[in-house]
């Protein structure tokens, strides 16, 4: 058995195509959705990510505002810039590209972004909303993973989902989203003894640890859906995930590739969140306009 590929590139293209008319409808009412992206320093990977995000915005008709700031920027100056964007009604989403230089407290930066413009879904207000099942922005990577499962026809209800990784950005919110979808969820991490004993039980396996070949074929239940969030490089410098793709593909029922899997969907869900922020702002402004 060879696993069916969950093509993140194709699904992201479809998502952007679905968003474009909604963006155009808002723009026609004078409310063009706008995403502000702040890049502090010159981290090469961050520059690539930001370039893609700006291009994605332009591709669906959104406005992008890119702030390139020096690595030695004082923390107070960054916080002041975020406050200015918070106060600008023409800006609907604010994204500060991580990682930040060591002298800047990322938690303080995230807390400064207005929850209604926190399209990354990292603010404590949005994290808390996810925990208790209320409306809020979902972190883009786990949100994209859920869309990929949906597109593949993989129903989490009643399934055992195992999430390997417990980060605030992927692992924890991924577990919450799967729980909301009525999966039975296990979270594994660096202190989990006998990781394979848990992963072999998974109908849905999400690998998000950032270490190449963490998940091997003998660790996967036949027919499982395997979502690879990892982004690593092998000895040849080529991108690869946390899953031994070639071997696991012969065991799993569905699998996401790296590259071309979760990454494009993460960016697509950023657009979804930004558009929803713009639509919410337009709805809030509508009574005053009338």
Active site residues: 53, 97, 120
Dihedral class, residue 241 (left if φ above 0, else alpha if ψ from -120 to 50, else beta): beta
Instruction: Output the DSSP codes for 209-248.
Output: SS-TT-B-GGGS-TT-EEEE---EE-TTS-EE-SB-HHHH
The 8-class DSSP code of residue 166 comes to: -
Burial class of residue 148 in the structure, from the number of CB atoms within 10 Å of its CB (0-12 exposed, 13-18 middle, 19+ buried)? buried
Q: Which residue shows structure tokens 């909303």?
A: 129
Enclosing H/E stretch for 278: helix 262-289
> How far, in whole angstroms, is CA 249 from its chain's centroid?
24
176 CB contacts (<8 Å, ≥6 apart)?
130, 131
What Cα–Cα distance (Å) separates residue 105 from each residue in 79, 102, 108?
A: 10, 7, 5
User: Which three-class secondary structure string do you get for 83-152?
Assistant: HHHHHCCCCCEEEECCCCCCCCCHHHHHHHCCHHHCCCCCCHHHHHHHHHCCCCCCCHHHHHHHHHHHHH
């Amino acid at each position: 058995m060879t696993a069916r590929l969950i093509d993140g590139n194709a699904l992201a293209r479809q998502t952007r195509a679905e968003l474009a008319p909604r963006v155009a409808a808002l723009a026609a009412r004078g409310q063009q959705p706008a995403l502000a992206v702040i890049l502090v320093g010159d981290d090469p990977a961050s520059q690539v990510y930001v370039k893609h995000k700006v291009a994605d915005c332009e591709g669906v008709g959104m406005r992008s505002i890119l702030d390139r700031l020096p690595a030695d920027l004082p923390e107070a100056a960054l916080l002041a810039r975020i406050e200015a964007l918070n106060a600008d009604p023409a800006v609907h989403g604010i994204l500060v590209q991580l990682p930040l230089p060591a002298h800047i407290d990322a938690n303080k930066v995230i807390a400064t972004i207005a929850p209604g413009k926190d399209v990354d879904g990292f603010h404590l207000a949005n994290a808390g909303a996810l925990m208790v099942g209320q409306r809020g922005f979902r972190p883009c990577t786990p949100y994209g993973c859920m869309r990929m499962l949906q597109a593949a026809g993989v129903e989490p209800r009643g399934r055992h989902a195992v999430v390997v990784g417990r980060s605030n950005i992927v692992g924890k919110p991924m577990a919450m989203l799967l729980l909301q979808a009525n999966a039975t969820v296990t979270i594994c991490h660096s202190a989990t003894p006998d990781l394979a004993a848990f992963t072999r039980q998974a109908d849905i396996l999400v690998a998000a640890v950032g270490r190449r070949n963490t998940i091997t074929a003998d660790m996967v239940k036949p027919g499982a859906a395997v979502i690879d969030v990892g982004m690593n490089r092998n000895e040849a410098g080529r991108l690869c995930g946390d899953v031994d793709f070639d071997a696991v593909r012969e065991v799993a029922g569905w699998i996401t590739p790296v590259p071309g899997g979760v990454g494009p969907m993460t960016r697509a869900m950023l657009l979804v969140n930004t558009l929803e922020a713009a639509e919410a702002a337009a709805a809030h402004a509508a009574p005053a306009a009338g």
